[in-house]
Amino acid sequence: MSIIEKAVDKLSSEKPKDTRPVKSDFRAAEVDNSQAETPTQEVAKRPEPVAETTELFENEGSTRPTRKPDNPVVEPDDVAISFSELQLDGILALEGGRSKADEEYRMIKRPLLLRAFTGSNSPGRFPNAVMITSALSGEGKTFTSMNLAISMAMEINTTVLLVDSDLAKPNLSRQLGINEYPGFTECLKDETLDIGQFLLKTDVPSLTVLPAGQRHIRATELLASNSMQARLHELASRYSDRVILFDSPPLLATSEATALARHMGQVAVVVEYGSTPQFLVKEALNLLQSQESVSLILNKTRDDFLSRHVGGYSYGYGKGYGYGAYGER
């Protein structure tokens, strides 16, 4: 039995006793090690742009694009992303703290960071490139991506780049109010563009965001292309203290996720506890057989699960989140 099958068998042995709605709780786990879950509802609120903003692009030569992509929807001159306005929807407080959510994400991020800066991968893969995905839509991967990015950005001497790589359904960009800005798609289509000038600053000093950009009819081919490999090499190797989180499409909803995974040094799979069927989790993990580092993040676990496994250490959210049917909006 493979380590992935063992991990899935562990998940299936902890079935909830009933299906009544409950608060969301979480911890995180390694596929080849121990249990873990994390709250990963996603955010429906869309923040208003911050008016008093100066340099809004990561300073990699200029604060404005030297060349606009073909047919951009808007020119991103005065854009800032405010994560603080999303705290009521479950996003971590920017100043950090000792809440249960803060502590849970600290446990989730630690092994990912350890591998990011000390691990090694096959040629062409970078350990500091981490893909956050799920088997199905609606399991909370985008919520996890945002909170994990904020928690990692609280580290000393660490910078984080959060990339919306769900090019068909850019939910991260939509939630942050940047879905109409050029970004990842344009940079993959045109390798002459300076990708650093599409990185948007946020109110978290060490965290920048790359929007998905415009939709493309051949998104899978873009993510599987040599251009993707070149861009990843550029992003992953330019700064020694950078971790890159890719909010990706669900594994079983589109071929884009497996195309993207080919380039990743680490993959974290969000699983909605008590909802996602075991056979679908196995099917999703089987698509990642070539990956050297795969982790599971359990979402929406019950209080009784946590009390049995972590001594009553639990966390609950009052809001739920639904990704909706995958495909055209």
Other Cβ atoms less than 10 A from the Cβ of 216: the count is 18
pLDDT of residue 120: 75
Are 153 and 204 within 8 A, CB to CB? yes
Rounded to 5 degrees, φ, ψ at 46 are: -115, 115
Cα–Cα distance for residue pair 56/54, rounded to 1 Å: 6
| Confidence category of residue 7, pLDDT binned at 50, 70, 90 | low
> Which of 303, 245, 294, 297 is CA-nearest to residue 40?
297
pLDDT of residue 127: 94
Q: At residue 48, does pLDDT exceed 70?
A: no
pLDDT of residue 310: 46
Assigned fold of 3-310: Rossmann fold (3.40.50)
Cα–Cα distance for residue pair 203/29, rounded to 1 Å: 29
77 against 173, higher pLDDT: 173
> Which of 294, 315, 295 is CA-nearest to residue 305?
315
Lowest mean pLDDT across 11-20, 99-108, 204-213, 245-254:
11-20
> Which of 258, 194, 198, 262 is CA-nearest to residue 226?
262
- The 10s digit of each residue's pLDDT in 136-188 is 999 999 999 999 999 999 999 999 999 999 998 999 999 999 988 999 999 99
Q: Among all chains, which residue has been given the structure tokens 């971790």?
A: 243
- The 10s digit of each residue's pLDDT in 212-263 is 999 888 899 999 999 999 999 999 998 889 999 999 999 999 999 999 999 9
Q: Look at the pTM and tell me if it is higher than 0.95.
A: no
Are 99 and 238 within 8 A, CB to CB? no
Domain boundaries, the chain: 3-310
pLDDT of residue 251: 97
pLDDT of residue 320: 29
